[in-house]
Homo-oligomer: A and B are copies of this chain.
């Protein structure tokens, strides 16, 4: 018997239709053809998706558990997503809610190479929340971004990431930007710069090499933009780098945020994962955010915990509330909320950092 994974869907349909709908999803996500036309014993026994269980969650809403052979995934993170949700993502009555993976598949992808403890250690933090800010707006030249970075670092922030809109544009090419910012931050060895990688895998490899040459050891990428397999390849190839995953384009496919950001991106090696915190510019509920953070941190096949990074329109006055909500195992990302302070940016940053450092963690 081959090892198996379970994809868990939430399906909206009239009650009477659910058994047939569940079977159709199991077929769609595996053999994609009439099962009656299949003779091959191995395919029938192992490859055809199997509905393991169906249960009602609410009126016309069901949980459907589909078992799939792990061998269908090959050794490919993209194919993992394809098996979980490739065609079914095109059905608007289905959401991919969760997944259970066999140990061999988890071992194949192996999760974060660093994770929470290492991300604390790198910036000299004890068991407290981490702080982060963002370099923006896009359109600024490298020198202006480097000036901003220096101010954040002077305020004592732990991680400074590129805005995910900063790519390899003519007005701020990646290599020139990284060089300028890394140079500016040389005087602040406890602050880590996190440049945003973009482009095809070749471009991202060149960007990582340029970052490493400038002394950078952390980078951000958007796995749903660059492709899960390419993200995972970068993680494998750069064991010294810590990777922050950005959720850009993650919304289009209707994968539950706690699964995608808290679990799948962790599996593929994200040491930290940015998500839009409730009450900011995005509509995630407190429950979704809590589930996402818990998934990222939970004991799961022995993988390192991934740092949840609460972002998306946060402000310094929300620090106590967010730390009450998440506890110490969180990174708080405040970008625009600090940039608004303008000439008082280093002071505001220092106040943000102090609020996080002095918080009475429970």
Chain A residues proximal to chain B, CB less than 8 Å: 24, 28, 30-34, 36-38, 40, 42-43, 46-48, 69, 71-76, 78-79, 81-83, 85-93, 96, 134, 136-140, 144, 163-165, 167-171, 198-203, 222, 224-230, 232-233, 247-255, 276, 281-284, 335-336, 339-340, 342
A230 touches B230 (CB 8 A): yes
CB-CB < 8 A to A169: which residues of B?
Answer: 71-74
Could you jot down 27 A-B contacts, CB within 8 Å? A30-B137, A31-B138, A32-B335, A33-B335, A33-B336, A40-B144, A42-B171, A43-B137, A71-B170, A73-B167, A76-B168, A76-B199, A78-B225, A79-B198, A81-B249, A82-B167, A82-B225, A82-B248, A90-B252, A90-B282, A91-B282, A199-B229, A200-B230, A202-B233, A251-B252, A252-B254, A253-B254
Q: Which 8 A-B pairs have the closest CB atoms?
A: A227-B227, A47-B139, A31-B137, A89-B251, A86-B248, A33-B336, A92-B252, A201-B201
Q: Which of B43, B85, B139, B163 makes the CB contact (< 8 A) with A42?
A: B139
What's the nearest-Cβ distance from chain B to residue A30, in Å? 7
CB-CB < 8 A to A75: which residues of B?
Answer: 168
Instruction: Output the nearest chain B residue to A84 by Cβ-Cβ distance.
Output: B249
